Structure 1
Amino acid sequence: MPRKRSVDDGDELLARLGSLTAQARERAEVQRSQVELAIALQRGMLPRDLPSGPGFRVAVRYAPACYGLNVGGDWYDAFTLPDGRIGLSIGDVQGHNIEAAVFMGQVRTGLRALATVAGDPGELLARTNDLLLSLGTDLFATCTFVRLDPATGVLESARAGHIPMVWATADGKSGIADDEGGPPLGIESGLEYPVARYQLTTGGVFVLLTDGIVEGPDMNVDDGLGQVVRLAGIAAVAGLDAHALAAAAIKGAERVGHEDDAAVLVVGHDEPDRWAKARAGS
């Protein structure tokens, strides 16, 4: 009789193990489906076409996270405003799941819509902040928005809790944009966002990025930003185009050891004849 009970106990244990294994596989499949859906949502919300014109270029690179559910929060955008100026934005939503991907789309859409009526990037971020609060979500986003006048090379920029831009000029100077910034979007109403103004000179570049480029377990944010400053400086002096710099920046993100999304947006100023030759050869 004791031997019979031992066999029964073993069968019961095997049955429980089989059930737990099946449940684990089911959860893994659900998680994988959620990751694939979040990536599809995110990619579908990013712009397919980027503005271009004589004297300036816009280039982007984006690498989604590939671990667990660490996907869904980063975005970039570039579009032409009705007055001919160019709107550029980059940002990061709190969270890494389908909800974050959807919220990212709401932020990007809100910025696009309000950019046509806002007086400057600071007012745009303030209006977008109030819009997001009206949605009643617990999520928030960091963001940089830049408005570029291609005719003059003047950039107007405002930041909402986001990493500052990096800049470089053809004469060998480079650094991190020194602007005040404001709190992230979606936290508190009635906020103001200071506006900083810069000049995009011939051969110069401005680099907008998310923290996946510069911060992770293997590198702190100061060292990461310093890495991008060096890349931008080399690219500007060597006359490399915006696409080459964007590719180098996203490649350099591998050194930070992150498991997060990574996005970079570069706007550069070329000689008009160089742009014409590039267009003719494309």
Structure 2
Amino acid sequence: MTRETFRTLKALRHTVRSIALGHRLPADDRARLVLSLSEVAGAALGGGRPVTLLSRRETDEDGAHRLTLALRLPNQSPGHAVATDRLPLRARTQPDGTVVWNLPLPSTGSPGHAARPAAAQRGEADTALLEEELRASLARADALADEHRRLKHELAETNSGVLALYVQLEERDEQLRTAHGRTLRALEDALRPRPLHVDGLELAVHYAPASDEAPTGGDLYDWFTLPDGTVHITVVDALGHGITSTRTALTVTHAVRTLALEGHPLESIVARTDGILAPFDQSVMATLLLARLDPADGKLTLANGSHPPALVARGDGEASYLEVRGRGIGFPLPGSERLLTAHLGVDDVLFLYTDGLTESRRDPLEGERRLKDAVCRHRVRETEQIPGLVAEDLLRDVLHQDDTLAIAVRRTGA
């Protein structure tokens, strides 16, 4: 191990360069080493305080050689501390403040001894070594620039390929979404009843899912003609969205249809439906509205299970809600509290719906007022247009997205 003390930065640089040259370090590593020690020692030497340099050559168990340089600094304030991880050649700092560099040495040859020239020749020698180090640094910079250009070119080609692939994936994804939507809409159409044609009545329906990505939901309806000629209509709104709620709504409508065709009284069907389904699935929850309409005399009978009330728009332009209290499927004490009987005159329109229409702005009372105005406004239109036009009016500026279902029934008297 050698130990030297320095009072000038020039002498330190010259000695470090000589040590690096004697151990045959490459010019690039030599330049980084000289710059690193100069940066660490600069503050102390500039303030007139000497530094001590220790150097030694070591060999590890595998026979590899390395050069260790340790720079001991005088006591200095924390403001003069050097961030060794940002030096041209990284180093480590020992607890006593000594900064240490460990450099692997070339495996061939033995270390030489750089002769120290006379003072007159020292400047020329240092200049030659500086030029060599500069050329090495420039060559390394040129090599890095070439590598950067090559990588940039490869990155541009890769980005171009990735962009093309992304476009293809987007097109494929759009095709899959379209096919998925068609499949679900076909399923939705299959679940809904066929159009009902009854003398003396015109019926129309409009349905819109909460999301185009899931065109099925918990809003479902059923209509059919009973043996006595009256028309039965069921409107169901099952809890939730998507396929699960569709299954719940379908189960409820099938149970109601079965009970109605078996001849059970209308006032008992809501409670009986809950009694049938509860033993099989305790999670089923749904509201429902049941309507019976006789096309011949216009007698209308309603039963309700927690569902929004039916609305009747009269031929004279007036409209009113037909309120019936009750609790739905899965609710405590399910069933319709009573039956409501009304009369539907010629050209009157019965409007049945789910709460996705009246609660689209989070205020049911405002929604009911807007619904009554819209039905009165569109009552004079053709029956098949009324549900869609009313839904379009109420679903502007939607604050709460939900499935929506609307049914219009006009008594023509023909």
TM-score, normalising length: structure 1: 0.76
Partners of 1:177 and 1:131 in 2: CA distance: 28
Q: Which ranges of structure 1 fall in alignment gaps of 5 or more residues?
A: 3-27, 273-282
Closer/same/farther in 2, CA of residues 110 and 102 from structure 1, 3 Å limit: same
Of residues 396, 400, 403 in structure 2, which corresponds to 1:255? Answer: 396
Question: How do 1:99-248 residues align onto structure 2 when only pairs under 5 Å count?
Answer: 99-179=244-324, 181-188=325-332, 191-216=335-360, 218-236=361-379, 239-248=380-389
Query: Aligned residues: percent identity?
Result: 28
In the alignment, which residue of structure 2 is the partner of 1:23?
A: none
Q: Any conservation in 1 of the 2:305–2:328 contact (CA below 8 Å)?
A: yes
Which structure 2 residue ranges, 5 or more long, are not aligned? 1-84, 86-172
Are 1:47 and 2:197 counterparts? no
Q: Deviations over 1:216-260 (max 9, x none)?
A: 2x3511122212211222344xx3332222121221232251421
Measure how far apart 1:106 and its partner are.
0.7
User: Secondary structure in 2 aligned to 1:93?
Assistant: strand
Which amino acid is the alignment partner of residue 184 of structure 1? Answer: G
Q: Which of the residues 203, 212, 215 maps onto 1:58?
A: 203
Alpha-carbon distance in structure 1 between the residues aligned to 2:377 and 2:265: 32
Matched residues in 1 for 2:216 and 2:394: separation? 16
Q: Cα gap change, 1:213/1:106 in structure 2, threshold over 3 Å: closer, same or farther?
A: same
Helix, strand or coil: the match of 2:345?
Answer: coil
Post-superposition CA distance 1:62-110 (Å, at most 9, x none): 1122166685210112111121110111121001132211111111111
Distance 1:97 1:208 in 2: 22
Change (3 A) 1:190 1:268: closer
Separation in 2, partners of 1:35, 1:116: 34
Residue 119 (structure 1) shift: 4.0
The structure-2 alpha-carbon separation of the partners of 1:256 and 1:147, relative to structure 1 and needing over 3 Å to count, comes to farther
1:21-42 deviation per Cα after TM superposition (whole angstroms, max 9, x unaligned): xxxxxxx99xx79988765544
Q: Deviations over 1:158-208 (max 9, x none)?
A: 1101111111111121121132x2111123466454110110001111100
User: 1:25 maps to which residue?
Assistant: none
C-alpha displacement at 1:153, in angstroms? Answer: 0.4
Q: In 2 relative to 1, CA 166–34 (structure 1 residues): closer, same or farther, beyond 3 Å?
A: same
Name whichever of 160-169 and 92-101 sits farther off: 92-101
Amino acid at match of 2:374: L
Higher mean alpha-carbon deviation, 68-77 vs 155-164, is at 68-77
* Structure 1 position 265 matched with structure 2 position 407: yes
Contact 1:133 1:187 in 2 (8 A): no
CA distance in 1, matches of 2:354, 2:397: 13
How far apart are residue 139 of structure 1 and its match? Answer: 2.2
Identify if the C-alpha distance between structure 1 residues 39 and 115 changes in structure 2 by more than 3 Å, giving closer, same or farther: same
Per the alignment, do residues 90 and 264 of structure 1 end up closer, same or farther by CA in structure 2, a change over 3 Å counting?
same
Residue identity opposite 1:124 in structure 2? I
User: SS at the partner of 1:95?
Assistant: strand
Q: Is the 8 A contact 2:378 2:390 kept in 1?
A: no
| 1:241–1:67 CA distance, 2 compared to 1 (3 A) | closer
Letter of the 2:388 partner, please give it: A
The higher relative CO (CA closer than 8 Å, separation ≥ 6) is in 1
CA contact (8 A) 1:34 1:98 kept: no
